Structure 1
């Protein structure tokens, strides 16, 4: 039997490989902890995190302490929640997206013409995320920020994203019929699957969606789809504001305009064309 001694270089390679695999293992545990937080459960205790991740209590306690120190998590009296600093880190990535840069002038134009906040939403991991925003100059406004994550079934932008993405709609159906169903953000949130399907079908048929009070009582919005050159859905263009200003009569003017009242179809078509796509409602 011959015994071969490992060289220094071989030992170094083994050490590096071990460190790399160990680092990936830690990242996987951190990912599991962050994934444990949801819109319906934004604040969790150490016990909650242990139960949801299956990690040992000592591991959860150590990693959570490190995540708080680095700003990934914030601590309050009720427990822990995803840190505000995460949104700060996410903003440059969103701002650098080609779609966001292309749509920004459209959002600003829509904001200036209507006086209300204009936003762009995209789907991400089963939710809708605000990726661009042109906020109203008025003092009274509907709360919105870049990076805000919302359920797909809540609000007109979510209805648009579901209306033109069959796979996404199928995923939501599975979620709605599973444990817990669809969560309500207000008493006006549509959580019944049959009713929601009717809303989505109507959205696809008429080419836009209107909602009121689903995300925030006293606020509403109207949304239209933005398409890629291949005709696939890219995003939902959303105009939002207080219900005192976005009245049924105001929606009617936007959808069936008489000059100089702006029409949502125009900005949505402009955004689609800017992205190399074409406007369509069917």
Structure 2
């Protein structure tokens, strides 16, 4: 399938293409969408959208609401069947819970997808920072601690693609100069941890570490601890997040060897 900016481009002349277009019309801020808004966002004929949305309701990928449609729990169930993320989450969760118990700050697990990080898990309590992340959500690699930890250890082609593309500025502190970011990625690779200081959202700081395949040293995922700058110093948690990432990698390797 052709790709544009690392997002698969769907063929809307096919049924599956039309279905994917309808599902992708929803954003993180949408609790529901009216039929008229789905038609506007997809650019498809009203009758087509109405028919396919009805079929998606029948198979529990959409729910019908008083005002239109919303994404259904059936999509979440399918997502949790994804073998790599499910296995990773099962192994990582005890380590994430331990980090949260020790810090009481927001803990993340994320994986690479194109030029973005996808958050597989997020643990946080009443004191959690106002981070822009959410479970199942995406963020650019260049402006988050967890994204930079992934980017520093990814393959040269992906790193080049990110550094050669525009780097959107999310806050005044976002690094948008490719040369500066490249030097920071080299430092991250050597140190084994990445830091973020108000680069994705004002008022928060983060320390992150990559989970590397024991055999190939390829990056599998990354974990992070995020907190508000008013009370949180990420440097104090560098050893803990690095040790947790190493523990997850070792457990993944042991489970693989038992198969």
Provide the residue aligned with 2:10 in structure 1. Answer: none
Q: Which SS does the other structure have where 2:235 is aligned?
A: helix
Question: What is the CA-CA distance between 1:253 and the residue it aligns to?
Answer: 2.7
Within 1, Cα distance between the matches of 2:101 and 2:142? 28
> CA offsets per residue over residues 9-59 of structure 1, 9 Å max, x none?
xxxxxxxxxxxxxxx9311222244457789xxx98744532xxxx56764
Corresponding residue for residue 188 of structure 2: 203
Q: 1:139/1:254 Cα in 2 relative to 1: closer, same or farther (>3 Å)?
A: closer
Matches within 5 A, 1:152-167: 152-166=141-155, 167=157
Counterpart CA distance in 2 for 1:119 and 1:141 is 12
Residue 221 of structure 2 corresponds to 235
Over aligned residues, Cα RMSD in angstroms? 3.8
Matched, 1:264 2:252: no
In the alignment, which residue of structure 2 is the partner of 1:18?
none
Residues 53-79 of structure 1: per-residue CA shift (max 9 Å, x gap): xx567645754676689664999x9xx
Residue 169 of structure 1: aligned partner: 159
Give the conservation status (yes or no) of the 8 Å contact 1:160–1:224. yes
Confirm or deny: 8 A CA contact 1:34 1:82 kept in the other structure: no
What are the ranges of 5 or more consecutive residues in structure 2 without an aligned counterpart?
1-12, 255-259
Question: Contact 2:99 / 2:240 at 8 angstroms: preserved in 1?
Answer: no
Secondary structure at 1:147 match in 2:
coil
1:136 aligns with 2:128: no
TM-score under structure 1 length normalisation: 0.66
Instruction: Give a deviation string over 1:195-229, Cα, whole Å, max 9, x none.
Output: 32232222112221100222221112110111113
Cα gap change, 1:68 to 1:215, in 2 (>3 Å)? farther
Cα distance in 2 for residues equivalent to 1:155 and 1:264: 15
Residues matched between the structures, number: 233
Q: Which residue of 2 aligns with 1:251?
A: 234
Report if the CA contact (8 A) 1:91-1:146 is conserved.
Answer: no
> What's the TM-score, normalizing by structure 2?
0.71
Gaps of 5+ in 1: 1-23, 256-261, 278-282
* SS of match in other structure, 2:124: coil
In the alignment, the residues of structure 2 paired with residue 217 and residue 116 of structure 1 have an alpha-carbon distance, to the nearest angstrom, of: 16
Structure 2 partner of 1:7: none
How far apart, in 1, do the equivalents of 2:103 and 2:207 lie? 12
Name the CA distance, whole Å, in 2 between partners of 1:202 and 1:28: 42
- Say if 2:100 and 2:124, in contact at 8 Å, map to a contact too: yes
Cα distance in 2, alignment partners of residues 169 and 85 from structure 1: 35
Aligned residue in 2 for 1:226: 211
